[in-house]
Amino acid sequence: MKVLVATDKPFAKVAVDGIRKEIEAAGYELVLLEKYGEKAKLLEAVKDANAIIIRSDVIDAEVLDAAKELKIVVRAGAGYDNVDLEAATAHNVCVMNTPGQNSNAVAELAFGLMVMAVRNMYNGTSGTELKGKKLGIHAYGNVGRNVARIAKGVGMDIYAFDAFCPKEVIEKDGVKAVDSADELYATCNVVSLHIPATAETKNSINYALVNKMPKGGLLVNTARKEVINEAELIQLMEERPDLKYVTDIMPAANETFAAKFAGRYFSTPKKMGAQTAEANINAGIAAAQQIVGFLKDGCEKFRVNK
Ligand code: 3PG
């Protein structure tokens, strides 16, 4: 059995070593394709792979067509919007993710971005503190929960909205559960986004919603760029010079944001929320173990396609 690790954004070496150990202990062969850049290289590498470990790498119908021996794809991470689930099902390929394994890393980066923004991008002027400010967590999944845990230590007043998570679950953590996204944005000085990119959420962070934020509002995005309605956010930030936007996922309109909103906009050059040795080890080894469990015992825990 051949297990391909196809990561355009590579894992830390220590994580690759851990993945290799798991795969070789099962008697399988590990093949590494890193920083491949062009899709053609991925199409070539998947030809004889029985299993693939990916990160944000795109697995679409073309890749699945090329991967004639493929049985399973594991997205080492949470969001699987980069995998065509319907095409995978049609190709009889199981798709899994590794929920929770990299969420602390992402949550810590959300705070890194927050501190940078409230300290005026470290430009030497007086900023503000996070303590005592109202934080809105938009979606209370694994990352949202870690954000809440950290925010408690920082002394923030924490609110959350999650359309799918029962209020009792949120409030058990000492977080105030609100009834709608509108209420969350209207209440909070800082909103941290943790929604997945789905048909329902794409472009949902729009003018009307963000405009509900109080004066000096800060929007932090460590989720997906697709959830932002970029044209509307640009229009709003033009009209409201008090708003700031910091993101770990470079917008399609990065140049426009950077040119128009110097000092109140920042994007990491490459998504790096999950770029820690710990997150790479946790997610990478979980992915390897899930592949072994699937191939040896048919275990389908964490399967995300039908
Ligand atoms: C995830 O969905 O797990 C995170 O967005 C991290 O993505 P990455 O593996 O591409 O860094």
Q: What is the pTM of this model?
A: 0.97
Binding site membership of 284 for ligand 1 (Cβ less than 6 Å):
no
Binding site membership of 286 for ligand 1 (Cβ less than 6 Å):
no
Residue 179 Cα to ligand 1 middle (Å): 28
Q: What would the mean pLDDT of 251-275 be, rounded to a whole number?
A: 98
Q: What is the pLDDT of residues 54-110, one digit of tens each?
A: 999 999 999 999 999 999 999 999 999 999 999 999 999 999 999 999 999 999 999
Residue 9 Cα to ligand 1 middle (Å): 10
Binding site membership of 271 for ligand 1 (Cβ less than 6 Å):
yes
User: Nearest to residue 109, comparing CAs of 269, 291, 268, 298?
Assistant: 268
Binding site membership of 79 for ligand 1 (Cβ less than 6 Å):
yes
| Contact indicator for 3, 288 with CB cutoff of 8 Å | yes
- State residue 220's pLDDT score: 99
- State residue 104's pLDDT score: 98
User: Nearest to residue 25, comparing CAs of 17, 15, 14?
Assistant: 17
Residue 8 Cα to ligand 1 middle (Å): 12
| Contact indicator for 20, 2 with CB cutoff of 8 Å | no
Binding site membership of 56 for ligand 1 (Cβ less than 6 Å):
yes
Beta bridge partner(s), residue 3: 30, 51
